[in-house]
């Protein structure tokens, strides 16, 4: 049944140890696929988590995040769209 679903247009990886749990990414995510974890990281923050479904690869979470490398955004490689950052900028 999962096979039938169109693949997500993107996904994100979050470094739970760099994240400071500010929640700005959660706020920015339009499909609301991010949340702050119940658990704490090593520094006592509730890090952001992505549960693995529904990301559209817009990249907004990356831009609002104050930490340089806490979020990595991946985009579905569609031949006609490519992965140019400008395209993402223009899409906003």
Partner 1 sequence: MPEYQVLHEKARSFYPRYTRKAEAQHQTHYCPGCGHGVTHKLIARAIDELGIQDRVVLISPVGCSVFAYYYLDVGNVQVAHGRAPAAATAVKRSRPDSIVISYQGDGDLAAIGSAEILHAANRGEPVTVFFINNAIYGMTGGQMAPTTLIGQKSTTSPFGRSIWNEGYPLHVCEVLAALEAPVYLERVALGNSKQVMAAAKAVRRAIENQVRGLGFSLVEILSPCPTIWKKNPVEAQRWVREEMAKVYPLGVFRDRTKEAEPRPAPAPPPALGDLPRILEIGDGAGEALPPLPKDPFADHRIKIAGFGGQGVLMLGEVLAEAGLAAGLEVSWLPSYGPEMRSGTSNCHVRLSTRAIDSPLVAHPTLLLALNEPSLRKFSATVEPGGWILYNGDQLPADCARQDVHVAAIPFTRLADRVGDARAGNMVMLGALLEITGLLPEAHIDYALRRKVKSERWLELDRRALAAGREAARQGVTHAS
Tell me which residue of 17, 59, 19 sits closest to 35, measured CA to CA. Answer: 19
83 binds ligand SF4 (CB under 6 A): no
- Tallying the residues shown for the chain, one arrives at 92
Report what 14 binds from partner 1, ligand SF4, none; CB cut-off 5-8 Å by kind: ligand SF4
C-beta neighbour count of 8 within 10 angstroms:
17
Q: Which C-beta is closer to partner 1: that of 1 or that of 77?
A: 77
* Residue 15 Cβ vs ligand SF4, minimum distance, rounded to whole Å: 8
Q: Is 58 in the site for ligand SF4 (CB under 6 A)?
A: yes
Q: How far apart, in whole angstroms, are the C-alpha atoms of residue 74 and residue 69?
A: 14
CA atoms of 18 and 34, how far apart (whole Å): 16
Question: Would you give the binding string for partner 1 spanning residues 15-54, x where CB under 8 A is met?
Answer: x-xx-xxxxx--xx--------------x-x---------
| Residues whose CB is less than 8 angstroms from the CB of residue 6 and which lie 6 or more positions away in sequence, other chains included | none
Q: In the complex, which residues of this chain contact ligand SF4 (CB under 6 A)?
A: 10, 12, 14, 19-25, 28-29, 31, 33-34, 47-48, 50, 55-61, 65, 67, 70-71, 73
């Amino acid at each position: 049944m999962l096979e039938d679903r169109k693949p997500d247009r993107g996904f994100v990886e979050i470094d739970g140890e760099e994240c400071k749990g500010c929640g700005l990414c959660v706020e920015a995510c339009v499909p609301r696929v991010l949340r702050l974890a119940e658990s704490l990281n090593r520094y006592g923050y509730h890090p952001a988590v992505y549960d693995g479904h529904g990301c559209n690869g817009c990249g907004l979470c990356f831009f609002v995040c104050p930490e340089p490398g806490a979020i990595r955004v991946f985009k579905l490689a569609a031949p006609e769209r490519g992965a140019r950052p400008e395209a993402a900028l223009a899409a906003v």
